[in-house]
Structure 1
Amino acid sequence: MFTGIIQGLGTVVEKRAAGGGMVFGLESDFAISDPKEGESIATNGVCLTARNFSGNRFLVDVSPESLSRTGLGRLKLGSRVNLERALRLSDRLGGHIVSGHVDGLGMVEERRESGDFTLFHFSLDPSLIKYVIEKGSITINGISLTVNSCQENRFAVSIIPHTLAVTTLGELKQGDRVNIEVDIIGKYVEKLLGGHGGPREASSKISPSFLAEHGFL
């Protein structure tokens, strides 16, 4: 489990095919204190198992499923990625609940400067845009962000200078693809209401009227 608060950047120093998937060698720009063999590290928002630590370098294995759902396969030697180590129970939840399981890819439709801020517009598949709400949370390349606006198959986020400087968002340009993880709470609510995975059980007391009465809608 992660929070979407990026700890630092990693650089791809090795890339090779392995068993239908890929192995990446990454070097972080921050000290990885007390590394644990097999710990989870979110790489551009993808939860990966880290191994073979040597200083700030480590390896991660990327499965065919992850390659098909994310943009990791497009990384090249020298590419930079956002890194976040797994959440500890004692940590502050500075962003929102992020699983590290990417739902799909979005595309940069527009990048525009607005004073000190940078406004991005992204397009997203209709099957995922339904989980995106104005002022809700979304994860883009592992970064927890607040949705400014949302309409049809597009949404916008406003990036502060600090986030632009310490993540890979500053490198994005029109046409680039990004890893998207929608807010997991929305998917659970949909399933409980019977919108996914079959009708609600008759015993369930959760309904649209129940959610509205308790301030969720």
Structure 2
Amino acid sequence: MFTGIIEELGHVVGLQAGAESARLTVEGPLVTSDAVHGASIAVNGVCLTVVEHGDDRFTVDVMAETLQRSSLGALAPGDRVNLERAMAASSRFGGHVVQGHVDGTAAILERTPGDRWEVVTFSLPGELARYVVEKGSITVDGVSLTVSAVGDDTFSVSLIPTTLALTTLGHKATGATVNLEVDVLAKYVERLLATTAPATTAHATTPHATTPHATTDSRETHA
């Protein structure tokens, strides 16, 4: 699990593309400092497993599902990427619950600069729109952000100077593709409501219709 607080801007140093997979090598001295085989590192918001590490760089395998749902397949040597190690149990929870499971991609539509901050507007895929709410949390390229505005097919965030300076979101131009992960809590709530609503309705209406002692219940008498 991650929190969406980026630890380091890394650089892609190698990408070997296969028929349905790829092997990605990234330079990141901080996240590699305590890396072990099998460790989890989020690259632009995608949770990946370290298979090799050393000399301030690590290598991961990227499967077809990940390539289809994320922007990782478009990376090239020299590209900057956001890096975050999996959260330690003793760490502060600085962002929100981030799984590193990308739900889809979006495009940067507009950048509106302020004095020291910037409002960035992204496209919003229709299948994800119901999970995005104003003042809610969303992960963009691995960065935990608060939604500042929502449109029919767009959403906006306000980026502070630290985010602009220390993540890829400060450097990506209009039209660039980013990875999105919506708040997993919203998906769980939707699932629970969808599976429990019919049972709750049936339980509420059945007893009074079928139980002969329903009219003598003391609660009904006192009502």
Shift of 1:9: 1.2
Shift of 1:32: 2.8
Alpha-carbon distance between aligned partners in 1 of 2:172 and 2:29, rounded to the nearest angstrom: 20
* Aligned match of 1:68: 68
- Percent sequence identity over aligned pairs: 49
* Aligned match of 2:42: 42
Q: Normalized per residue, which structure has more helix?
A: 2
* Aligned match of 2:21: 21
Shift of 1:30: 2.6
Shift of 1:29: 4.6
Indicate yes or no: 2:106 matched with 1:106.
Answer: yes
Shift of 1:27: 0.4
Shift of 1:168: 0.6
Q: Would you say how many aligned residue pairs link Structure 1 and Structure 2?
A: 202
- Would the aligned equivalents of 1:8 and 1:30 in 2 still touch at CA under 8 Å? yes
Q: TM-score scaled to structure 1, two decimals?
A: 0.89
- Would the aligned equivalents of 2:32 and 2:53 in 1 still touch at CA under 8 Å? no
Alpha-carbon distance between aligned partners in 1 of 2:123 and 2:31, rounded to the nearest angstrom: 35
Letter in 1 for 2:164: L
- Would the aligned equivalents of 1:9 and 1:29 in 2 still touch at CA under 8 Å? no
**After the TM superposition, which parts of structure 1 deviate over 6 Å for at least 4 consecutive aligned residues?**
none
Write the deviation string for residues 139-181 of structure 1: whole angstroms up to 9, x where unpaired: 0000000000112111100000111101111111111110000
Indicate yes or no: 2:136 matched with 1:129.
Answer: no
* Aligned match of 1:32: 32
- Would the aligned equivalents of 2:8 and 2:31 in 1 still touch at CA under 8 Å? no
The 10-residue stretch of structure 1 (169-178 or 179-188) with the greater mean CA deviation from structure 2: 169-178
Write the deviation string for residues 25-58 of structure 1: whole angstroms up to 9, x where unpaired: 1101536332211111000000000121113111
* Aligned match of 1:215: none
Letter in 2 for 1:36: V
Q: TM-score scaled to structure 2, two decimals?
A: 0.86
Shift of 1:89: 0.7
- Would the aligned equivalents of 1:108 and 1:120 in 2 still touch at CA under 8 Å? yes
Indicate yes or no: 2:199 matched with 1:202.
Answer: yes
Indicate yes or no: 2:195 matched with 1:191.
Answer: no
Unaligned residue ranges in structure 2 (runs of 5+) = 202-223
- Would the aligned equivalents of 1:4 and 1:139 in 2 still touch at CA under 8 Å? yes
* Aligned match of 1:57: 57
| Secondary structure of 1:30's aligned partner | helix
Aligned ranges 1:135-214 → 2 under 5 Å:
135-194=135-194, 200=197, 202=199
Alpha-carbon distance between aligned partners in 2 of 1:117 and 1:97, rounded to the nearest angstrom: 25
Unaligned residue ranges in structure 1 (runs of 5+) = 205-217
Letter in 2 for 1:77: P
Alpha-carbon distance between aligned partners in 2 of 1:103 and 1:20, rounded to the nearest angstrom: 19
